């Protein structure tokens, strides 16, 4: 019986993973799409007519903090209604299978990997559930609804969401841990990212240069497809559980 291309790709990807002692995973907005979290570029990268790259920036925040807070308060409110999908759970299964030999770095700020049971998640771009003061060391984990312009309880200055905006550095220790994992892994699995935002997307190239095999799981081709040894094209919520099943 002629094996479908997809099933052949799944078998090849499973074969690469079965041989892998160390695995590194990079996820993007696509892994949360089936949970109902909108991706960035499927809507053409726009939010209420604003380019995300204009709203999610320090300049955007100093220009119009109320607009930026409206953007983030809407996304924080939407978090209350979303749940991890089978793709998140499949990655948590992989985490239990490889233990400390698997590192999961995400560009997402929705916390769904942690809710699905993944441990030691490297949040490259921060978290929607964390706020910090623009002026003093105050920071807090909170999923509560916040006012339109939340102020710091310690110094009365403005709070901001603790996420990495465009033009801002990623948290050093988190990025370093992700880079170390990319260097050390035998297989690098890229899930649900258009691979256009750096330095996060650079991790896949770094892994490949260090000799890792790259598996891409994405709806369609991306900027990283050219360096993938196996390409799984379809919804990650369907393909990742299939992949884990084939690991035996």
162: number of Cβ within 10 Å: 19
Nearer to ligand BV8, 58 or 101 (CB): 58
Kindly write out the interface string for residues 168-207 of this chain, putting x where it contacts ligand BV8 by CB under 6 A and - elsewhere: xx----------------------xxx-xxx---------
Residue 161 dihedral angles phi and psi, to the nearest 5°: -75, 145
Please identify, using beta-carbon distances, which residue of 102 and 152 lies nearer to Zn ion: 152
State the catalytic residue, choosing from 88, 125, 172, 233: 125
Count of C-beta atoms within a 10 Å radius of residue 119 = 13
Smallest distance, ligand BV8 to C-beta of residue 123, A: 10
Identity of the residue, 152 or 201, whose beta carbon is nearer to Zn ion in the bound complex: 152
- Per DSSP, which regions of the chain are E strands? 23-27, 46-47, 50-51, 102-106, 122-123, 126-133, 139-141, 159-163, 187-191, 213-218, 230-233
Q: Which residue has the tokens 């698997």?
A: 102
In angstroms, give the least distance from the CB of 25 to ligand BV8: 13
d(CA 177, CA 181): 6
To the query of whether residue 50 is one of the catalytic residues in this protein, the response is no
Q: Does 20 bind ligand BV8 (CB under 6 A)?
A: no
Tokens of 142: 């909170």
**Per-position x/- string for 133-172, each x denoting binding to Zn ion as judged by CB under 5 A, each - no binding:** x-xx-x-------------x-xx-x---------------
For residue 160 the two structure tokens come to 């901001």
The number of angstroms, rounded, from the C-alpha of 128 to the middle of its chain's C-alpha atoms is: 12
**In the bound complex, what is the minimum distance in angstroms from residue 164's beta carbon to ligand BV8?**
5
List the one residue from 14, 20, 37, 40 that touches ligand BV8 (CB under 6 A).
Answer: 40
- Of 19 and 43, CB closest to ligand BV8: 43
Cα–Cα distance list, 34 to 85, 88, 219 (Å): 6, 10, 11
Q: What is the per-residue DSSP string for 176-194?
A: HHHHHHHHH-SEEEEES--
Nearer to ligand BV8, 49 or 99 (CB): 49
Residue length of the chain:
248
CB of 21 to ligand BV8, least distance (A): 26
Residues forming the site for Zn ion (CB under 5 A): 133, 135-136, 138, 152, 154-155, 157
Report, as residue numbers or ranges, the catalytic residues.
125
């Amino acid at each position: 019986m002629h094996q479908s291309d997809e099933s052949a790709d799944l078998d090849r990807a499973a074969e690469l993973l079965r041989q892998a002692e160390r695995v590194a995973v990079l996820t993007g907005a696509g892994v949360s799409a089936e949970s109902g979290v909108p991706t960035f570029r499927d809507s053409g990268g726009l939010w209420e007519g604003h380019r995300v790259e204009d709203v999610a920036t320090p300049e955007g925040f100093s220009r119009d903090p109320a607009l930026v807070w409206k953007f983030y308060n809407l996304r924080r409110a939407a978090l209350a209604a979303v749940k991890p999908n089978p793709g998140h759970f499949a990655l948590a299964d992989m985490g239990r299978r490889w233990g400390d030999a698997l590192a999961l770095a995400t560009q997402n700020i929705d916390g769904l990997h942690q809710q699905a049971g993944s441990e030691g998640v490297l949040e490259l771009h921060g978290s929607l559930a964390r706020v910090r003061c623009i002026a003093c060391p105050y920071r807090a984990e909170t999923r509560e609804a916040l006012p339109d312009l939340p102020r710091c309880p310690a110094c009365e200055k403005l709070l901001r969401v603790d996420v990495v905006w465009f033009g801002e550095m990623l948290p050093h220790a988190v990025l370093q841990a992700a880079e170390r994992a990319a260097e050390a892994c035998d297989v690098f699995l890229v899930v649900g990212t258009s691979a256009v935002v750096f330095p996060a997307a650079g991790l896949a190239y770094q892994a490949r240069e260090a000799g890792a095999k790259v598996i891409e799981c994405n709806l369609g081709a991306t900027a990283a497809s050219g360096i993938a040894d196996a390409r799984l094209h379809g919804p990650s919520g369907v393909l990742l559980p299939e992949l884990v099943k084939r690991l035996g």
